[in-house]
Amino acid sequence: MTSESKVIDVVQQHLDKAKWIVSRSAISEGWFTVQKMDYHHLENFEGQTFDGIYTMGTFVQDTDPEAVLAGFFHELRPGGRLSLLKVLFRSMRKINEVAAMPTNSTSHPGVFQHMVEDAGFTMMWFGTIQTTYAQ
């Protein structure tokens, strides 16, 4: 069985760093592909493409979080996992004033859980870590 991971980002600097890290690692050639792509638009994939999708602190910057979650759900195979890492800050109001995080301003306890469940995912909780499964 072969594994492949696709790394996508809209920021060229992040892509360059990801390529640099992959090129200097002991990871097998072709195991990671790095490409510029906006996860608001995953139409280039066939659907049920991935076993897992992981975001790192980007979900609060989404301009259309419901569409993003629907796209994630479409792209995950049945039983696939979605991990949304949300960075917690002390002063979210200040962050919202100076940063481009439109979804962050609507964030309150439970709102992301409802968005994820409305997109079709089943939530599983493990302490402070949550794992979300596509059905």
**Dist CA 63 CA 103 (whole Å):** 7
pLDDT at 13: 92
> Which pTM does this prediction carry?
0.64
The answer to whether 104 touches 65, Cβ cutoff 8 Å, is no
pLDDT at 22: 84
pLDDT tens digits in sequence order for the chain, 135 residues long: 456 788 888 889 989 998 888 888 887 777 888 899 998 898 888 888 889 888 877 777 778 888 999 999 999 999 888 887 765 545 556 656 655 666 666 666 777 778 888 888 876 654 454 545 555
pLDDT at 36: 93
Q: Which helix (H) or strand (E) holds 131?
A: strand 129-133
**Dist CA 72 CA 49 (whole Å):** 10
Tokens describing residue 106: 């609507």
| Of 38, 41, 115, 111, the residue nearest 82 (C-alpha) | 115
pLDDT at 16: 92
